[in-house]
Structure 1
Amino acid sequence: MKKHIVNLWAFIHLVAHRFATDGVAQTAASLTYTTLLAIVPLITISLTIFSAFPAFQTVSTNLKIFLLENMLPESAGKVISVYMFQFSENAGKLTAIGTVILAITAFLLMQTIEHALNGIWHVRRARPWTQRLLIYWAVLTLGPVLIGGSLYVTSYFTSLTLGLGHEVHGATLYGLKFTPILLTVTAMSLLYLMVPNRYVMARHAWLGGLVAGVCFELMKTLFSNYVSHLPSYTMVYGAFAILPLFLLWIYLSWMVLLLGAVITAMLPQYAQGAMAGEQRVGYQFDLAVRTLVQLSHAHLRGEVLSLVQLVKLTHIHGEMLEQVLISLQDGHWVLRTNQGWALARHPDKILLRELFERLVFDAHHAQLDLGVIVRQPDLNLSDWVRSSAQLKLGEPCR
């Protein structure tokens, strides 16, 4: 029990350190600015998708209620949501060129989100544009459809309950109460799973989404209480107070979403015990050999392995594996192709001694001629002292 608490505390410390070093607060500020430009196009696209499905004709009203009650703080949400939907209705009257510009704005927001998540996962290479556009379109279309479907089912069961004249109680009450939370958790989990150009396990994405969703609901409650009981901002800003409140709300929402992303990115290290392993002597060498073994098998089969395949075969989390591959690439042991990773030479030509010298002990930068120890691992101390007696201690050997 004590060990688990210590590991959990170490994980929290790691998440906090990653949150700070990756500049997540600055990224949230950037996303806040982009959201101001893209929020109306996003709502317009959502309402357009709803209108394309006959079953969702009445969902647009439910969507407005859902956003009003669950995505915005109560006091600010009433004013902001009215203006947002007025803007979206006006946007629906635009010409084809104007609609295209709105769609581009929405795609730019998705690109900014992808860049932020790739930064958290330390992704070195983004997806090709064709794949990125498909993912953007999937998020922009499937997201509203999933939300609309959930709202449709919720409205359906609510109408059945009201039609029977009974009060909502039991499982139905809990289902209606937790549907918004479940939607938030699902949306964030899918975002962590689909958007980063990294292999993310579904359970890690779900755990990150769960933490972010719970934090979002807690933040919404605290923010509403703050606005309700400490209205000093209206004394300073007057009628203009709604804008800084809305900006603060968007900023805090992105902070929570990115916190869930950091947790999701760090969970593989926690699951593999890599936090302690990274301090172990020879850890990088161990990972490199495991990687080369799988690439050797693929080489003999005439195959190239993608990063996702290597993650599954080596059981090394993506970020650490990519660092190992870059190190092996610098040593000219592996190379990257358009399809993935492969050995740069035949396995017979790869000496593990060279790998050991590079990753465990670099004899070229030693003050004494210690390279002989690597070449002759059974050499005892007396033999080495006699063979190096002519060298003066403290003088470089090379």
Structure 2
Amino acid sequence: MDKTLNKFVAQHLWSEAVLDYPWWRRYLIIAARYLYVVLDDLAKGELTLRAMSLVYTSLLSLVPLMAVSFSVLKAFGMHNKQLEPVLLQFLAPMGEKGVEITSQVIGFIDNVKISVLGSFGIALLFYTAISLIQKIESTFNYIWRLDQHRSIGRRFADYGSVMLIGPLLVFTAIGLSARVLSGGLADEMTTMVPFLAHLRELAAKLTPYLMIVAAFTFFYMFIPNTQVKLRAGMVAGLVSGVLFQSLGWGFGSVVVSATDSGPYVIYSGFAILILFMMWMYISWLILLVGSSIAFYVQHPEYVVPARRSGDLSISQQEDLALQIMALMAQRYYEGKRPMTSTEYVARLRVQIQGVTRVLRALRLAGLVVEDASEPPRYLPNAPLENVNLKQVLDAVRSEGASAALVRRRPRPGVSGVKEIRENIDRAIASALEGTSVRDLALGKDEERPNSAASQ
């Protein structure tokens, strides 16, 4: 077993004896496995490092992001003061200092006059705001083991719609919920049925928490450049919402309430800034931990004590490439819809890094091509009866290769290595001679289905 958080705990959680446990105990072990892998990721330090990076980016981009986002509210007759309850709820763990920070942020946003910035100033304001979301996407893509990011056009389209339409939807939802809970119809119903008064009071208390869970769920489903299942997003949103409220209560009770000691004595006038940065760091870390939970819920093949990097040996990549090409050919000849990378992961039960790397190698070799859908689906880019299996193996074996260093005085290679390589290549070519991808998928003696002729 590779180096991991705690080998003794890992051996117990992933022991074969778990299969003989009662069902309730197996579920507890499964939940403990998810907790273990998340804590292991935290212990490695990458999530905490990225959370600190996002704190710094947030300090630079917070006011421009809110200025752009809530400028659209003014067009609908809303004022930035209506942003105040949302900020107060986010900064509630900071107590009175949260109120002070909220008023300062609102003042900064009020002082930003987009109409007098000019075209260059508006473009710079949008770029600063979008850069924060781009940084978040990059972090989420790292957690989700994704190499491909959104294109420039998609970034402006997706992020711009969120910044301009998102605040309007949020405040509309808040306004509707407040109107429903405090409207005349609700008063009449609670008067006729006294029991509904307790439900109304409970709903009023739960609404802020449900809003937080919904916001986290939206982040987990929208930000990663992949299709996130609703179940994964909701589980992560619920866990993150509970963590946010619990740690917020602890932060307010332990750190902020220590008025005569702690940061107030050490940092004096800078205490409010230090507390704000500390809470920002905790909030970003909660968001990233929730994203990690969503990833593991959607990809349970990564819930292992070690080797979650997804690296594959050359032999494993070759096997995976042959399986992908065979599946692609089978679906092509059967007239079925092409598969996405996520569908290949689910079908072959492999980790997503291996699938994306092999698909990239096949695409660069000209054997497959992406369609225009989102997420992209993969189609054959050449007649499958003309694609030899050795071409498939060569595609993954040469992927990522770098050119040799150019020297003024070339040095001779180690004697015998080139000849051995040539012998290996000839042996592979001889073994695979006359075997195409179509033969692998359908069998050499099977005729092509009629559906292929129609295509």
Please name the residue that 2:159 is paired with: 136
Equivalenced residue count is: 361
Please name the residue that 2:254 is paired with: 226
1:326 CA displacement: 5.0
Q: Deviations over 1:94-127 (max 9, x none)?
A: 6133343322211111111111111111211112
1:27 CA displacement: 0.7
* 2:179 paired with 1:149: no
Give the 3 Å change call, closer, same or farther, for CA 317–184 of structure 1 in structure 2. Answer: farther
Q: Residues 367 and 381 of structure 2 are in contact (CA less than 8 Å); yes or no, is this contact kept in structure 1?
A: yes
Please name the residue that 1:294 is paired with: 327
| Structure 1 counterpart of 2:97, from 54, 72, 76 | 76
Q: Deviations over 1:27-69 (max 9, x none)?
A: 1111101111111122223332222224xx37x4443123213
- Distance in 1 between the 2:150 and 2:302 partners? 29
- Distance in 1 between the 2:370 and 2:233 partners? 28
* TM-score, normalised by the number of residues in structure 2: 0.67
- Distance in 1 between the 2:180 and 2:332 partners? 57
Q: Residues 296 and 302 of structure 2 are in contact (CA less than 8 Å); yes or no, is this contact kept in structure 1?
A: no
Q: Residues 220 and 233 of structure 2 are in contact (CA less than 8 Å); yes or no, is this contact kept in structure 1?
A: yes
* 2:122 paired with 1:89: no
* 2:287 paired with 1:267: no
Identity over the aligned pairs, expressed in percent? 25
Q: Deviations over 1:132-170 (max 9, x none)?
A: 211101221232123201221233245437988989942
- Distance in 1 between the 2:88 and 2:336 partners? 57
| Secondary structure of the corresponding residue to residue 286 of structure 2 | helix
Give the 3 Å change call, closer, same or farther, for CA 123–62 of structure 1 in structure 2. Answer: same
- Distance in 2 between the 1:178 and 1:290 partners? 49
* 2:67 paired with 1:67: no
Give the 3 Å change call, closer, same or farther, for CA 305–5 of structure 1 in structure 2. Answer: closer
The residue type equivalent to 2:293 in the other structure is: I
Please name the residue that 1:252 is paired with: 282
The residue type equivalent to 1:83 in the other structure is: Q
Please name the residue that 2:272 is paired with: 242
Output the aligned Cα RMSD: 4.1
The residue type equivalent to 1:25 in the other structure is: T
Please name the residue that 2:407 is paired with: none
- Distance in 2 between the 1:284 and 1:17 partners? 27
* 2:201 paired with 1:173: yes
The residue type equivalent to 2:96 in the other structure is: S
Please name the residue that 2:150 is paired with: 127
Please name the residue that 2:239 is paired with: 211
| Secondary structure of the corresponding residue to residue 264 of structure 2 | helix
| Structure 2 counterpart of 1:51, from 74, 84, 90 | 74
- Distance in 1 between the 2:323 and 2:45 partners? 29
* 2:230 paired with 1:202: yes
Give the 3 Å change call, closer, same or farther, for CA 308–143 of structure 1 in structure 2. Answer: same
**Unmatched runs of 5 consecutive residues or more in structure 2:** 1-22, 398-419, 422-426, 432-455
Q: Residues 188 and 212 of structure 1 are in contact (CA less than 8 Å); yes or no, is this contact kept in structure 2?
A: yes
Give the 3 Å change call, closer, same or farther, for CA 163–203 of structure 1 in structure 2. Answer: closer
Please name the residue that 1:396 is paired with: none
